Amino acid sequence: MRLLHTMLRVGDMQRSIDFYTKVMGMTLLRTTDRPDQKYTLAFLGYGSNPDHAEIELTFNYGVDHYDLGTAYGHIAIGVQDAAATCAAVKASGGNVTREAGPVKGGNTVIAFIQDPDGYKIELIERDA
């Protein structure tokens, strides 16, 4: 088995594509518009399936926001330098919700950012 993608419902497709490409450095891999079914999909990532997992953004026509609920946690992305990534996210207009620092009770350096729809993204510092 292999993790293929994570789907996130978004309220503004272009705003979300801009965030994941311009702030997070992902590539827009493909889009699908289904007007008869009233939704649009965009797949983004640092590479495409099957070598890399992707994020699937889903925009349902007429829905501009979602309640995230309490079950969703976060997406995790490995980075070489969490503090530098936070600085780049802020410089690009992104929202850092936890600055880079060691995880409670450990040594791994993490940070958290938030996308325009409120989804949390954990940055985990790792060697290349």
Residue 54 annotated as catalytic:
no
DSSP string, the chain: ----EEEEE-S-HHHHHHIIIIIT--EEEEEEEETTTTEEEEEEESS-TTTS-EEEEEEETT------TTT---EEEEES-HHHHHHHHHHTT-EEEEEEEEPTTS--EEEEEE-TTS-EEEEEE---
Which positions ≥6 away from 39 have C-beta within 8 Å? 58, 59, 60, 61
Residue among 54, 56, 99, 122 flagged as catalytic: 122
Q: Which residues are catalytic?
A: 122
